[in-house]
Structure 1
Amino acid sequence: MTLPRLALLLAALAGPLLAQNAETQPTVIESQKLDMKSTDAETTSIFEGNVIVTGTNLKLTCDRLEVVAFRAKGDPGATIGKVERFKSLVATGSVHIVQGDREAACGKAVVLPGDDKITLSDRPVVTDRGVGWTWTGDELLLLRGERQVRGTNVRIVGPPVKDLGFDKDKKVEGAPETPKQP
């Protein structure tokens, strides 16, 4: 399997990060180093040093990206086998993901396509500029298709809520008079 094909599959299976209506673009992975190894069951690709992944409505940067994919049945003698589906993608070190109005930063991002989830850890911050919300916590779990975010020790900052208080000087019809203090 060629590197461009691996890159295309990486983007396709990182679906939790991609917008549905974006115009498709080729996926490009750049790094200072690549180490790709295959067994009969899976292929592991490790990209290191200034890793940059760009594709359809996606930019991911990190220090290291490890991609583990299940191999399809085929030529057992092939140097790099055909990838059937992804098992995991793990980005570490200064992880930064941008997708449309959404942005995530953390020390580690684990994408499990088979489980439709992404776990962000090591000081994760998720910002949705479209709605003005920011989530932080010890760990944030994003669930694809369920539109859920779960986390531990979470702090959420959102747009201001209008004052729901009352004007103490305004008289309300039918309200009893407040006794005056002597």
Structure 2
Amino acid sequence: MTLRALLALAALLTALAGAHGQSVETQPTVIESVELDMRSSDTETTALFTQNVVVSGTNLRLTCDRLEVVALRDPKKGGTIGEIEKFKSLVATGNVRIVQGEREATCGRAVVLPGDDKIILTESPTVTDHGVGWAWTGEELLLLRGERQVRGKNVRIIGPPVKDLGFDKGKPIEAAAEAPKQP
């Protein structure tokens, strides 16, 4: 995969994760793994990174056991690997952890579909926003890019505590005002 394709991969992952609007100094994209198997056809390039996969770049760190990247390519452009036109899908599996700023997602499988602007997290997914103290878990969590939406199935949401809205046991109870008359 060319350096330009790797940079596009990091930019895509960063965009899909959705920045909070903070300005971040750009960093080079680095993908590390024990093994790589990359193959191209006339229309697609598939790169399979396995064992201790780490993707790091601008405001992004992704770790997993296996990362499969499928990119579309222009059949008119030659070359052994070919120039990457756009990403079709990215599938991270096994101990997936995605960190961007104060947000963190963990799961067994993350499917990124750039054409649909969504990320689907399955296999015990958890999304935590450490900045606001909220966490989402469920069977499946769907993150929609640009819409600030999280959808899910069998979801549990954990948020910061709400102050006690009950009564103060040490304070005497005041008599209630006269109730309004019913019509």
Question: In the TM superposition, what are the counterparts of 1:10-159 in structure 2 within 5 Å?
Answer: 10-14=9-13, 15-19=15-19, 20=21, 21-76=23-78, 78-159=79-160
- Which runs of 5 or more structure 1 residues have no equivalent in the other structure? 177-182
* Whole-angstrom distance in 1 between the partners of 2:39 and 2:5: 13
Query: 1:131 corresponds to which letter in structure 2?
Result: V
* Whole-angstrom distance in 1 between the partners of 2:115 and 2:175: 58
Q: Is the 8 A contact 1:18 1:58 kept in 2?
A: no
* Whole-angstrom distance in 1 between the partners of 2:120 and 2:103: 16
Moved over 4 A (4+): none
- Return the offset for 1:7: 1.4
* Number of equivalent positions: 174
Q: Is the 8 A contact 2:50 2:66 kept in 1?
A: yes
* Whole-angstrom distance in 2 between the partners of 1:29 and 1:17: 17
* Whole-angstrom distance in 2 between the partners of 1:123 and 1:158: 18
**TM-score normalised by L of structure 2:** 0.89
Q: Is the 8 A contact 2:18 2:146 kept in 1?
A: no
Aligned residue number for residue 177 of structure 2: 174
Q: What is the CA deviation profile of residues 52-106 of structure 1, one whole-angstrom value per residue up to 9, with x for unaligned ones?
A: 0000000000000000011024433x11010111000000000011111011110
* Whole-angstrom distance in 2 between the partners of 1:172 and 1:69: 71
Which of 15-24 and 37-46 deviates more?
15-24
Q: Is the 8 A contact 2:65 2:93 kept in 1?
A: yes
Q: What is the CA deviation profile of residues 109-166 of structure 1, one whole-angstrom value per residue up to 9, with x for unaligned ones?
A: 0001111100000000111000000110001000011110000010000001112233
Aligned residue number for residue 8 of structure 2: 9
* Whole-angstrom distance in 2 between the partners of 1:125 and 1:41: 35
Identity %: 67
Summarize the Cα distance change of 1:117–1:172 in structure 2 as closer, same or farther, 3 Å threshold: farther
* Whole-angstrom distance in 2 between the partners of 1:69 and 1:11: 13
CA RMSD of aligned residues (A): 1.6
Aligned residue number for residue 180 of structure 1: none
